[in-house]
Amino acid sequence: MINKVNYTLYMNHLLVVYAFLLPISERALSAIFSIILIFFIVRGDYKYYLRSAIKNKILQACLLFFLVHIIWLFGTEDFDYAKTIIDDMKYLLYPIIFLSFVDKSFSIRIISAFILGMLFSEVLSYLIYFDVFPYMFELFDHRVYKAHSLGNPTPFLAHTRYNVLLSIVISILMYNLLKNFRKTPLFINLLTTLFIFTASFNITIVAGRIGYISYILLMFFTLFLVYKKRVFSILIPFALVLFSLSYFSYQADGMLTKRIDQTIESTKKIFSDNPDFNSSIGYRISFWISSVEVIKNNFIFGVGTGDHMNSVRLNEKDEERKKILYYLSNSHNEYLKVILQFGIIGFILFLNIFYQIFKQNTMNKLDINILYIITIGIMIGVISSMFGSKVYLPLLMLMASVITSQNSFLVNNELKISFKIICYYISFAILFFIFAILQ
């Protein structure tokens, strides 16, 4: 007979696999979460296990923001799109389950699994970039992966999200390296340094411009976390090194060069005497401009769940800009999307999620600073992407639950990593990935 502690242990192990596959397969995540949910139901004793979860301020903030999406459904004129948005935001509810079983002894293991998932993606990205692997790979008529485009060797994620996640992982590793350099074996320090350099170069061969920004900002934020008041003593030499590396990367005439040149050229066209918005940046700025009037007219309550795109399109009088608005499928900016849909009320409740994260203060400073790095990275990422798109929201909800959990359900269990456990993790990751590609 399986007891409740064993169910809790199995769920924690599954969450390690979940973290590894998070940047790799959304379908695999759904399958793993379904099994976790079954274990949660079978384990029972909900009042006991959910007691601490409900007290979590981050969870409360998430539930409030999700409730806004439901309440603002009333009166929506685009119910189908609203349902899509609600489905994307379902991850806001996941901490209810995660916080009912995740044990704080598993936090480092789960964080490490996510980092390894990104390392796996990086290795595959290089193999695609150097033509060892094809840009699209199918097995028995089932797609295993497809790189975003010929200029973006990112097998599982769009280039923008991939670069932001890679910058987050680089910053986590850099933080750990600087903080624990003397305590960590030399081999691990060398391995970490190698990954930081290879991942940094990997960012330059991928066309995610928001990733370049997140990389630079997270580097400086990480230095602040490590050195605090002494940060200014290292800021100038670090900035010089970063500028030199950026300059040489730009001179290499690769993807980084092309994207920076495209950005400069697009910006010049936008702000010329005859503004030309026919570029990826132009489309976004055009939407931002068109949104201003709608926000002014609906500042308090917004236009409702899912009505933001049509409201901006119908309000625009300029025919050329209206064509651009119909070309865009979403706002490409979560902050704009939220204030359009829910007004200042919803916008404050959205920011409250991040506020509650930064209010957290656990005994383990290492873990909480990692959560801060992840949060800042995602806050930068959603400037040009959606919060519920594929990976940002699942990652934030997972790490916020794992790192802030105070549960000690497994205190009497043997939790050491062994070769056998690693084999189990690899086997289940492969099984869930195969299941995902067969769907």
Residue 145 counted as domain residue: yes
Token pair of 87, please? 């489905």
Residue 102, pLDDT score = 92
pLDDT at position 321 over 70: yes
Residue 347 counted as domain residue: yes
Q: What is the mean pLDDT of the chain?
A: 85
Give the length of the chain: 439
pLDDT at position 59 over 50: yes
Residue 351's pLDDT band, with cuts at 50, 70 and 90, is very high
3-state secondary structure 191-236: HHHHHHHHHHHHHHCCCCHHHHHHHHHHHHHHHHHHHHHHHHHHHH
Residue 382 CB contacts under 8 Å (≥ 6 apart), including other chains: 333, 334, 335, 392
3-state DSSP assignment of residue 28: helix
Residue 202 counted as domain residue: no
| Residue 254 DSSP class | S
Alpha carbon 142 to chain centroid, angstroms: 26
- Is residue 366 a contact partner of residue 192, using CB atoms and an 8 Å limit? no
Whether residues 338 and 370 share a domain: the answer is yes
For residue 164, give Cα distances in angstroms to 108, 113, 123, 382, 410: 21, 18, 17, 10, 34
Of 87, 111, 115, nearest to 388 by C-alpha is 87
Whether residues 149 and 9 share a domain: the answer is yes
Give pTM, 2 decimals. 0.92
Residue 425 counted as domain residue: yes
Mean pLDDT of 18-22: 96
| Residue 389 DSSP class | S
107: part of which helix (H) or strand (E)? helix 107-129
Whether residues 78 and 149 share a domain: the answer is no
Whether residues 70 and 15 share a domain: the answer is no
Whether residues 5 and 137 share a domain: the answer is yes
Least confident of 64-73, 245-254, 320-329, 430-439: 245-254
CA atoms of 262 and 291, how far apart (whole Å):
25
- For the chain, the domain total comes to 2
Whether residues 426 and 339 share a domain: the answer is no
pLDDT at position 253 over 60: no
Whether residues 317 and 426 share a domain: the answer is no
Whether residues 404 and 417 share a domain: the answer is no
Residue 360, pLDDT score = 83
CA atoms of 172 and 166, how far apart (whole Å):
10
pLDDT at position 4 over 80: yes
Mean pLDDT of 217-239: 81
pLDDT at position 394 over 80: yes
pLDDT at position 198 over 60: yes
CA atoms of 156 and 285, how far apart (whole Å):
28
Whether residues 393 and 344 share a domain: the answer is yes
Say which residue the tokens 């503004």 belong to: 275
CA atoms of 126 and 240, how far apart (whole Å):
28
Dihedral (C-alpha) 381, 385, 388, 391: value to the nearest 10 degrees?
A: -50
pLDDT at position 251 over 70: no
Whether residues 74 and 4 share a domain: the answer is no
Between 234 and 49, the more confident residue is 49
Would you tell me how many other CB atoms lie within 10 Å of the CB of residue 137?
A: 14
Token pair of 154, please? 């990112």
Residue 364, pLDDT score = 62
Residue 242 counted as domain residue: no
Token pair of 363, please? 């005994």
Residue 335 CB contacts under 8 Å (≥ 6 apart), including other chains: 347, 350, 382, 383
CA atoms of 146 and 143, how far apart (whole Å):
7
Give the pairing of strands 136-139 and 142-146.
antiparallel
- Is residue 391 a contact partner of residue 117, using CB atoms and an 8 Å limit? no
CA atoms of 381 and 65, how far apart (whole Å):
19
pLDDT at position 113 over 90: yes
The percent of residues in the chain predicted with pLDDT above 90, rounded, is: 38
CA atoms of 111 and 183, how far apart (whole Å):
19
Mean pLDDT of 220-244: 78
Tally of CA atoms within 13 A in the half-sphere of 286 that contains its CB: 28
pLDDT at position 39 over 90: yes
Residue 360 counted as domain residue: yes
Whether residues 352 and 427 share a domain: the answer is no
Would you tell me how many other CB atoms lie within 10 Å of the CB of residue 286?
A: 25
Whether residues 39 and 126 share a domain: the answer is yes
Tally of CA atoms within 13 A in the half-sphere of 258 that contains its CB: 9
Of 165, 163, 188, nearest to 177 by C-alpha is 188
Where residue 141 falls (left for φ over 0; alpha for ψ -120 to 50; beta otherwise) is: left
CA atoms of 211 and 232, how far apart (whole Å):
25
Least confident of 113-117, 150-154, 336-340, 381-385: 150-154
Residue 385 counted as domain residue: yes
Q: Which of 41-50, 369-378, 403-412 ranks highest by mean pLDDT?
A: 369-378
Residue 192 counted as domain residue: no
Residue 353, pLDDT score = 95
Between 240 and 256, the more confident residue is 240
Which residue range(s) make up the domain with 121?
Answer: 1-44+102-154+412-439
Mean pLDDT of 391-399: 93
